[in-house]
Structure 1
Amino acid sequence: MQQLADYFATIPSTHRSAILVGGITLFWLIEGALPLFRFKYNKWKHAGINIFFTITTIIINFAMAFVLVKSSDWAIAHDFGLLQWLPEMPLWAYALVGMLLLDLIGAYFVHWTEHKVKWMWRFHLIHHTDTHVDTTTANRHHPGESVFRFVFTTAAVVLTGAPMWLVFLYQALSVALSQFNHANINLPDSVDKVLSWIIVTPNMHHVHHHYVQPYTDTNYGNIFSVWDRLFGTFAREDGDKLVYGIDTHMAPHENGRIKNLLKIPFQKYRPPVGAKFSEESFSKK
């Protein structure tokens, strides 16, 4: 475990890029051979849109990376954060607790918040406009969302007092698991029922991408499924009953063009079925 910690403490940026590219390539091949849905779409054109948003996310995270490093260094130097206040434990237990906390604050909580706060939802729904969910969908985030997700990640690092090796380890697993649980594959029920008690599986996360409520407001988890089970946001549905996308933007000219996707947060709001953030309900808040 110490060797793993030492590796991620000084992991080269090329290795982090390799994890991203390698994950997409691996799950791209698997879903091509054993797809859940046989989409009638131009897979390369679809990937191009999502890779555009992957690149914008990488640029934003790279430009602001020094903030993350400084935040972690400050927490460690001032003995601040939940991990710093816990009793001494084996390194593997320390890493597991740290990743659970980073996943709760920096992934589950921000994702849940994006579905509850109207202005954040307007940015996040770009992720939900994808009507052909596959492994490339994992990185389909509006640049504005990438910014406030980074803010929550930084808050998670400070509140947990996580050292950078643990942050890099978590981010590597986060990238790989996100690509896995968005992949256009379906696990056998027997396998899924076991794995979904521990990690977020494709069968579980695909439910979150069903085009209408209440399914869009379930299964917020990123790596660990425990938070959805603990907070009552876990849901199941048969994969063949799912329809991907968001009901307000099902037209291809709206969900399949980068220019329009970038504009959606600033366009007139359209309440989805179930009146999420309707003008009436929002005015009462």
Structure 2
Amino acid sequence: MQTFMQFWENIASWQRMAILLGGMVFFWLIEGYYPLFAFSWKRYKHAGVNLIFLTTTVILNIVLGSITILACKWVTENHFGLLNVLKLPLWVNIILGLLFMDFFAQYAPHYLMHKIKWMWKFHMIHHSDTKVDVTTGTRHHPGEWIFRECFAIIGVYALGLSIGMYFLYRSVSAIFTHFNHANIHVPQWLDKPISWIFVSPNMHKVHHHYKRPYTDTNYANIFSLWDRLFGTFAYTDPRLLHYGLDVLDEKTDESLMYQLKIPFNKNIKTDY
């Protein structure tokens, strides 16, 4: 287990990028063979728009991610945070680290972005995708990434997360993001048991339904526990879902400049 964590403590940037892109390519290929919905759209054009958002996220991560790394170093050197105080076995720390970072870096900011109007306007870009597939998981306005990373830093301080644990969490979270957004057919006899513990593809697809109340459900990314605990869990047949947002023109979902301007467009109505 120590060797495992040493890998994450010293993981190179190219290795983290390989995990991110490798996971995306893997589920992209599976989509082609076992799609949930038949691809009636131009996959490469759709992916191109979403990957531009991924590029902005990567750039911000390079520029601003150093702040998170400094926070990890500080809590480790000063033995600060819950995991450093409890001194539990390493395997327990790994489970707790992943579990609670899913809350701090995903569930909490995601919930708030659905409840606070100005934050929701940034998050609308993610929900505006009417063709949800593996690339949708990368579709986030740069402003949204900043919100999420601020909450991740809170989690680092609260838990006392090491650099290795942070990189491990980010990689696991990225794989689940690809898995949950991928346009893959997962039979309910398999998907439902997965959703008892983890966020499953069919479970997350409910979150991308075009109108409430389904839009305001299933905020977690790795563990379904948080949605079950806070009463935001929902599950239904994904074939009954319609992606996008009822307050946006579906024709604009691949217009990059329109999407980037959504947070500042006062003509776009929202219930929040």
What range describes the TM-score normalised by the shorter chain of this pair?
over 0.9
SS of the equivalent of 1:256 reads coil
Once the 2 structures are TM-superposed, how far is the Cα of residue 251 of structure 1 from its aligned partner? 2.7
Alignment of 1:1-285 (within 5 A): 1-86=1-86, 88-252=87-251, 254-268=252-266, 270-272=268-270, 276-277=271-272
Comparing 7-16 with 180-189, greater Cα deviation is found at 180-189
Deviations 1:154-206 (A, max 9, x none): 11111111001000000000001100000001311121121111111110000
Distance in 1 (CA, whole Å) between partners of 2:96 and 2:149 is 21
Q: Aligned letter for 1:92? A: W
Aligned length: 272
Q: Aligned letter for 1:202? A: P
> Which residue does 1:282 correspond to in 2?
none
Q: Aligned letter for 1:270? A: I
Distance in 2 (CA, whole Å) between partners of 1:219 and 1:110 is 13
Deviations 1:140-161 (A, max 9, x none): 0001111111111111111111
Distance in 2 (CA, whole Å) between partners of 1:178 and 1:250 is 25
Distance in 2 (CA, whole Å) between partners of 1:58 and 1:152 is 18
Once the 2 structures are TM-superposed, how far is the Cα of residue 39 of structure 1 from its aligned partner? 2.9
Which stretches in structure 2 are left out of the alignment for 5+ residues? none
Distance in 1 (CA, whole Å) between partners of 2:250 and 2:79 is 52
Change (3 A) 1:125 1:55: same
Once the 2 structures are TM-superposed, how far is the Cα of residue 74 of structure 1 from its aligned partner? 1.4
Name the TM-score, length of structure 1 as normaliser: 0.93
Once the 2 structures are TM-superposed, how far is the Cα of residue 240 of structure 1 from its aligned partner? 0.8
Once the 2 structures are TM-superposed, how far is the Cα of residue 256 of structure 1 from its aligned partner? 1.2
Distance in 1 (CA, whole Å) between partners of 2:159 and 2:245 is 34
Contact 2:106 / 2:221 at 8 angstroms: preserved in 1? yes
Deviations 1:101-131 (A, max 9, x none): 1111111101001001111000001000000
SS of the equivalent of 1:35 reads coil
Contact 1:80 / 1:161 at 8 angstroms: preserved in 2? yes
Once the 2 structures are TM-superposed, how far is the Cα of residue 269 of structure 1 from its aligned partner? 5.0
Q: Aligned letter for 1:260? A: Y
Q: Aligned letter for 1:192? A: D
Which stretches in structure 1 are left out of the alignment for 5+ residues? 278-285
SS of the equivalent of 1:64 reads helix
Q: Aligned letter for 1:259? A: M
Q: Aligned letter for 1:154? A: I
Deviations 1:41-94 (A, max 9, x none): 1100000000000010010011112101111111122222121222x3221111
Comparing 128-137 with 57-66, greater Cα deviation is found at 57-66
Name the TM-score, length of structure 2 as normaliser: 0.97
SS of the equivalent of 1:237 reads coil
Contact 2:128 / 2:250 at 8 angstroms: preserved in 1? no
Distance in 1 (CA, whole Å) between partners of 2:60 and 2:51 is 14
Q: Aligned letter for 2:162? A: P
Deviations 1:248-267 (A, max 9, x none): 11331x22110100001000
Q: RMSD between aligned alpha carbons? A: 1.1
> Which residue does 1:281 correspond to in 2?
none
Distance in 2 (CA, whole Å) between partners of 1:224 and 1:29 is 25
> Which residue does 1:280 correspond to in 2?
none
